Structures are given as structure tokens and as C-alpha cells.
Amino acid sequence: MGVMNDLLTNDLFPQALLPVTLQGPADLEGFRRAARALLAQQMLPEQVSWHSSDTPVQDLFASPLAGAVAATTAIHNAAFANAPPVSVPPEYVTLCETAILHSDASRFGLLYRILWRLVHEPGLRHDPLDADMIKAGHMAQAVRRDMHKMKAFVRFRTVQDETFRNHPEGGPLHVAWFEPEHHIVEAIAPFFARRFTQMRWAVLTPERSIQWDYIRPHARHFVSSLPPEGASPALGRPGGGLAQLRFGPGASKSDAPPPDAGEKLWLTYYENIFNPARLKMKMMQKEMPRKYWHNLPEAALIAPLAAGAHARSARMVDDVAAGPKRRLPTIKVLPVTMASDEDAPERSLAQLREATNHCRECPIGACATQSVGGEGSLLAKLMFVGEQPGDQEDLLGRPFVGPAGQLLDRAFDELGIQREQVFVSNAVKHFKYELRGKRRIHKTPSQREAAACQHWLDDEIAMVQPGLLVALGATAARSLLGRAVPVMAHRGQILERDDGRKVLVTLHPSALLRMPAEEREAAYAAWLADLSVLNGEIV
Ligand code: URA
């Protein structure tokens, strides 16, 4: 039966096991190739012993055989290259892709045994109680859980590294330390690349490190400082930057940076949002298992906050009865100075944008790609305020560029408004969403979240000093007028703020986009009628 059976009958392997060595602990391609070849050679699962860099052959075979194993591995690597493809159910492919990342050394053998059985026992795919399938399913589930925890518990710290000191316009490096249980680092790297696209970051783990070298569009001159080795090709990113994902060897916790100022801010925030009345220790530990605590800065606060929870919730009950409601603490992350020279407003707007980017006064900012500040003319008489950036705005860093923005642009055209002459912004500066599969679905910001963003909007209004504000939808109306405004009852009306500024209230363009197609044009005409008040007023 060819090279492999020759190997089995030779004296080197009296125990009649064929060693197969994969290139790394998550070498799916190598496993696939080897499994195809073994199947083509009718190799029984129990005739094969699987190894990878995390379970080296040398551990299992007596040392005199180690050299021979390396030689035979080279021979059968050649044999694997030409093996014919095998047809398997798609669920098996999905199972393999995940379960192979498990840290249990038996995973390759198990997956090959399942493959063998799928070919020889076609009924297996419909047997939900099969022990091998159940075990592999549990492995895949453990890997998915580990990936989920890594997504939730990675905490970046800011480092002003050598590259930053030489090229500050490229931004600082953000470094995180994490200890996954399984071999998930390479599989999860694209998630972090998508989530933190416009940041330079590295995640260090004991087994592998990932680095994302993002170069801002205006900082391209240091592109030559990117080391080409081991790197994916440079990719163009939304916003015009370049980016590259690189993998390196594992690291140790001491390679990760110590706590920084951003972390202090996060801890202050955590302390403030901690609701003692809602403390459910068991649930919390289920969501945030203790084994992750030693790398989570906020974990140090849990014990003292939990210890004082009872007394604090009793005080909260008393406070509600006795006086005004607790307000969100306002923490300004970076002071925004109003410079006095000619470029001052532009510079202040850029500073404001930078400050909102670091804002963690509510949880939304931590999950968004970047903040989206207002844009347009600083001399504008009209300022349009929406709710929050959407998916495309979050990626591009500009307000109203997605479908709602296109509808707003259409209205601007029809009303004879030049977009560059007005100022367009949002009540909330970061995109709040819920992940559904790969899609990020818009979620309405809560009142507390909008309240936390209020002072950023106030800063923009103070800079632009518009003669008229346009509240697009309920969130904007509440932020601009400081109280809940029933939009349908007040649409098309101009209301007054406490500071005397005027606010035209109307629907958000997304509300029109959500209507059934047959109602949309009439709704659009009514919306345009609301906005046409602007013609007489200001434009
Ligand atoms: N919706 C908003 O409220 N603002 C945007 O910028 C985009 C969509």
C-alpha cells in the first residue's frame, strides 16, 4: 500500500504506529493534507500517532528513534502532497476548523477517527449521541468560549514606543496581555484587526503574539519602518491608511506594559457604573470567570465593591427617597483648549475629536472603531444633529455617510443646502451596536450614554455657534433640549433651549428608511416639508 505501509512494516516502528507531524498546533491545512493521504492509503485511525509543535514526537518515542521519525516525516510529507480530495459533510469541515484549535493533544486523532468513520459509516453524521462526535463538539464549544472570552477581556495599555517617538503622527502602540486556553491566537487576530482598525496594537500571549501595524494616511512616510518578514501583505484600509498583521513568538506577562492613565479612567468608570443593587456574584463569575481576573484591571475592584454592595444599595434606596437622582460623573479625558490664533477653531475641532476618541465615560467607546465627531463649516448658521454614527460612519470616521446620510444629502440638494456650509454632527460620538454573526446591528444609545456624551456636543455647539439647530430624531431632540420631546407631536416646530438657541425638531432619516417602501416617498415629502422651514429661517 505504498510509502506509508512500507514505513509501518519497517523495523524502526515495532509498535506499528505511523507518526504524523504537523507544522504547528493549529495547522489545519497540514491536517487536511495528511488525513486525505492516510485515508487514501486505508490507514486505520489506530495506526497513526499525531504530533505538532505542542506535542513533539520526541516526547513519545524513545530518543534513538527521534532522528528516524524526522526522516520518515519528510518522506510522507511528500506522499501527502498528491492525495486525492475526500468528500465530507460541510458540518465536519466546520467542526474541524474549530476543534483543531483545542489544546487537548488527542484532537487530531479524534478528528481523523471521525473522518474515517464518516467515510465508512455514513449514518454517523445523523447520530447525535455518538461519543466521538460529542467529544469533538465539546472541544469546538470550548474553543468558541475561549475566543469569546478573549474578545471580551483583552485590555489594551498605551505605550509610546520607539516608532511613536520617531513618528508621533502614527499614534502610540496599544499593547494587551492575554492567556488563552486554546490555540486561538491566529484565528482571532482578524477580529481585532477589524475592531481596532485605525490603531497600532499588539496582543501578547504565551504562545504567539499578534501585531497590527496601522499607518495613518498622513503618516505614510514611515512606511519603510515596517519590517516585511512574517507579515501579511499591506492592506488598504477604510480612511486611506495602510495596515499589516504580523505574528511572532510567544511572550511573557512582564513584556506587557504596566498600568497607564487610560486604565485609571476605565477603573473610575467601572467604579461608577457598578450597581450594588444589581450585584449577582454567581452570574458575574459565570460571565467573567475568576481565571481571567488576574489580567483584568477592574477585577481588583470587585471584592471591595462587592463587600460594600449591601451598604451602598441601602444608601441608594435612601437617596432616591431623599433627593435628586444620581447623575453620571463627568470625566473629561483630555482638556480641550480654545486657542486664540487664526487656526484655532480647526485645531480645537481636531483636539475635540482626539479627546472623544479616548472617551470611556460610557461603555460604547470601547467597542467602536473610532469616535465620529461633527464636521462641516465652523461658520455654519445651521447645525444638524443625529443620534449616533452608524456602521459606515464608524468605519470611515465621518458623520452621515451611510444610507441615512444619503437621504440627508438628497434633502440638502432639494432644499438648496450645500453640505459644506452647514455643520453635521451626532448626539453620541461612538457607534453602539450588537453583533449578530458578522453583522453589527445598530442599538439605540441609552439615556445615560447620551447624557455622558452631552458635553462633547455642547463643546461643538460652543465652537460653531449655529443660529439654528436641527434635531433629527428623539435622541438628538433630548440632547439638544434637555428633556424628552415627542417627535411626532412637535415635528416641523421650532422649540427653544434654556440658552435661547432655537431647535427645529423632525424625524431621523433612518426612521424613513425603516418604513415600508410604499409609504416611504410620502414620508419623505412630509419630512422635506418639516425641513423646508429652514428656507425661510436661515439658509
Ligand atoms: N445616523 C445618525 O444618527 N448619524 C450618523 O452619522 C449616521 C446615521
179-195: pLDDT as tens digits: 999 999 999 999 988 88
Residue 22 inside a domain? The answer is yes
Closest ligand 1 atom to Cα of 473? 3
Alpha-carbon gap, residue 419 to 500, rounded angstroms: 25
Cell of 390: 452608524
The DSSP code for 91 is: H
Cell of 167: 513618528
Query: Using a 6 Å cutoff on CB, does residue 397 contact ligand 1?
Result: no
Parallel, antiparallel, or unpaired for β 208-215 and 157-159? unpaired
pLDDT confidence tier of residue 77, bands split at 50, 70 and 90: low
Parallel, antiparallel, or unpaired for β 382-386 and 502-506? unpaired
Query: Using a 6 Å cutoff on CB, does residue 357 contact ligand 1?
Result: no
Answer yes or no: do 142 and 158 share one domain. Answer: no
Query: Using a 6 Å cutoff on CB, does residue 170 contact ligand 1?
Result: no
Answer yes or no: do 521 and 402 share one domain. Answer: yes
Please report the pLDDT score of residue 155 as a whole number: 84
Q: Hey, is 386 helix, strand or coil? A: strand
Which domain covers residue 125, as residue numbers?
12-149
Cβ contact 333:265 at 8 Å: yes
Domain C-terminal end among 149, 168, 184: 149
Residue 364 inside a domain? The answer is yes
Question: Please, what is the angle between helix 28-40 and helix 90-99, to 10°?
Answer: 130
Alpha-carbon gap, residue 57 to 19, rounded angstroms: 7
Query: Using a 6 Å cutoff on CB, does residue 387 contact ligand 1?
Result: yes
Answer yes or no: do 348 and 414 share one domain. Answer: yes
Please report the pLDDT score of residue 125 as a whole number: 85
Q: Which backbone phi and psi does 503 adopt, to 5 degrees?
A: -130, 120
pTM for the whole thing?
0.52
Model confidence at 60: pLDDT above 60: no
Model confidence at 65: pLDDT above 50: no
Cell of 374: 461633527
Model confidence at 375: pLDDT above 70: yes
Query: Using a 6 Å cutoff on CB, does residue 400 contact ligand 1?
Result: yes
Q: What is the pLDDT of residues 204-226, one digit of tens each?
A: 999 999 998 877 666 555 444 44
Q: What is the pLDDT of residues 6-53, one digit of tens each?
A: 444 444 444 568 889 898 899 999 999 999 999 998 999 999 999 987
Q: Would you put residue 43 in left (φ > 0), alpha (ψ -120 to 50) or beta?
A: beta
Answer yes or no: do 34 and 144 share one domain. Answer: yes
Alpha-carbon gap, residue 85 to 81, rounded angstroms: 11
Domain count, the chain: 4
Cβ count within 10 A of residue 218: 10
Q: Nearest Cα to 363, choosing from 428, 418, 413?
A: 428
Answer yes or no: do 122 and 16 share one domain. Answer: yes
Number of H helices, E strands in the chain: 23, 16
Residue 398 inside a domain? The answer is yes
Cell of 330: 463627568
Residue 320 inside a domain? The answer is no
Mean pLDDT confidence for 303-330: 52
Model confidence at 275: pLDDT above 70: no
Answer yes or no: do 501 and 355 share one domain. Answer: yes
Closest ligand 1 atom to Cα of 399? 6
pLDDT confidence tier of residue 514, bands split at 50, 70 and 90: very high
Answer yes or no: do 473 and 517 share one domain. Answer: yes
CA of residue 435 to ligand 1 center, whole Å: 18
Burial group, residue 178, by CB count within 10 angstroms (0-12, 13-18, 19+): buried
What is the amino acid identity at position 370?
Q
Answer yes or no: do 66 and 188 share one domain. Answer: no
Residue 324 inside a domain? The answer is no
Cell of 67: 532522528
CA distances from 265 to 166, 251, 517 (A): 27, 27, 46
What is the amino acid identity at position 87?
S
Q: Hey, is 469 helix, strand or coil? A: strand
Answer yes or no: do 431 and 306 share one domain. Answer: no
Please report the pLDDT score of residue 295 as a whole number: 73
Cβ contact 56:25 at 8 Å: no
Answer yes or no: do 434 and 523 share one domain. Answer: yes
Query: Using a 6 Å cutoff on CB, does residue 394 contact ligand 1?
Result: no
Residue 187 inside a domain? The answer is yes
What does the longest C-alpha to C-alpha distance in the chain come to?
97
CA of residue 493 to ligand 1 center, whole Å: 21
User: Rounded to the nearest 10 degrees, how much is the dihedral formed by the CA atoms of 194, 198, 200, 206?
Assistant: -10
Alpha-carbon gap, residue 122 to 167, rounded angstroms: 60
Q: Hey, is 289 helix, strand or coil? A: coil
Cβ contact 309:279 at 8 Å: yes
Instruction: State the chain's mean pLDDT as an integer.
Output: 79
Q: What is 151-168 written as a DSSP string?
A: HHH---EEE--HHHHH-G
Cell of 269: 468608570
Alpha-carbon gap, residue 531 to 535, rounded angstroms: 8
Cβ contact 39:48 at 8 Å: no
Domain C-terminal end among 114, 133, 149: 149
Cβ contact 235:244 at 8 Å: yes
Answer yes or no: do 389 and 241 share one domain. Answer: no
Query: Using a 6 Å cutoff on CB, does residue 426 contact ligand 1?
Result: yes
Output the domain CATH number for residue 481: 3.40.470.10
Least confident range from 49-63, 112-126, 439-453, 504-518: namely: 49-63
Answer yes or no: do 293 and 174 share one domain. Answer: no
Residue 322 inside a domain? The answer is no
Residue 136 inside a domain? The answer is yes
